[in-house]
Structure 1
């Protein structure tokens, strides 16, 4: 179906109030991300602007930033988050959905899906990545934007490791296939494939590269991972002491 039909048929069901955890004394405690999003109401299908707060494995929404009691929340455990394809006829509609656990194998138009709208493409990307980290972190995913120490700590459960598997895999492939490649780390890779590989690693998969894989794509994936680290490989403090 078209993105328009998909977005019109998918409505934002009201999240269960009873499943919300009590709010903490400090509204900022444990907050992973917060910001304004629009959610679609289940009956009227109109959009409501709400303040969303991502905390632990729940996404809470409030009437405004000052509210202490959430209007509702969405449990993210076992859920799936998807960006919806942009419709050229409706610019400015940056839509993504959260499919609750137990609904992923049902019809794509399930009324249990939660439809949300961000203000911009970059804002939507940030929300999707943050939510995806929460969903997949227990399975070793969500590594883009995750602290290096957290990724290493998880992967050490499966054996000694000095760097994330993604880094080792990219570096090994570049050493084997790309040392004689002109413009390495300068020429961009295939954007769609970089995004697919990023999403695969973020979902806890470990995709393999073969002889048909473009080395510039692998280099771009490695650069993207390093760029999204909360703290750079060369720490801020070291850069302060030794400015370029």
Structure 2
């Protein structure tokens, strides 16, 4: 070991050897954070701070101190190297703004996904907005994807335009779900975005590679933005970690001792159960009691009819009840419709075969059910097919058809009779056995249809055409146990035969 004669020689030796040693340590700490090289002569305790005293020529008493946060521990080293590929980087990107020694409490780790998709034309269809379905219209939109939303422009130039009317359609991706779909559209390569607000978008591309790239990017953006919303914006703990990040030491006391007021959050993933207050059950009991009192005090149907709040319907009312209420054997509505057709519809092309406007037919039905004055000579009822449509609807809405259920089988057996005279007699007997309102209404209707057939050269209607129209309208079985096609054949044949032999069956005067 070298001996020094004077203290000045010892100081000179320290200046020449300790400064290069300090520079060597400083360069190694900055260049490599994976495995700090061992420095002979310096022992690093795991819990103690590393301090080095440097005697520089400019200041003999200056000190440079390094805390434990500037030394990487083995637990802080990443287990696997982070890929620098941009797509992988979107999953692992962590930006640490700010530096700061002395514990590193001033830095904030921000988790923000990188979107590697630029603007591109995609086929977009908005099928729902806030839970309300919309008509599906495909259109080519200039699509731009950001971290938490997708912007849809009608034209590419609108992305950089500053006009007020060029605002894009914004698809919020926070809490959104993204999935492939083949049921919502017949197109290929379609995926669906369902936002947290209940809006639904269909995104489609002609190529599968393009559609798959956007599907993956939108899905990652939705997942990342959803994770970010689960953390408080005022918190500095954005990322779960077991150790400290490079350049950061233990958390500062202000980070650990937070104000309890700022800890108000919903434990969405905990196993705790929701606690209901005692007032909830009390409220439910009170609602049940009020409903019971309301139901017990509700007025009867008779009282509501007497006050005019509920009126007897015409459509859907049993034929016997309707005739008893009106004091007739043929409903007045049937008489009004037949008179209107006799007046201006006997020569109409396809009378009873052509359907009228359904909305106008329903409007006519509403007026009749409300017992309002009905004048079919008004301009709104000028289309005679609306009148015939309402008449057919009246017969279809009967709870029991004009030919009651118990007579359907006997009528079918009667139409199967081969001999014409016996068939006419069987039909006449069955019609005479019908209830009086049914018998009279059928007689009035078929007498009117005979007048329609008398103008068949102009209205182009035949007995077969009227049989096809009125067969399923005037009769049907109570239970659809048989073959519907076979029943329709019999229904048509019965109406045709009654039309042909109506003068004999109904004992009409021959003119």
**TM-score, normalization by structure 1:** 0.44
**More RCO (CA 8 Å, sep 6+):** 1
User: Larger Rg: 1 or 2?
Assistant: 2
The answer to which structure has the higher strand fraction is: 1
**TM-score, normalization by structure 2:** 0.22
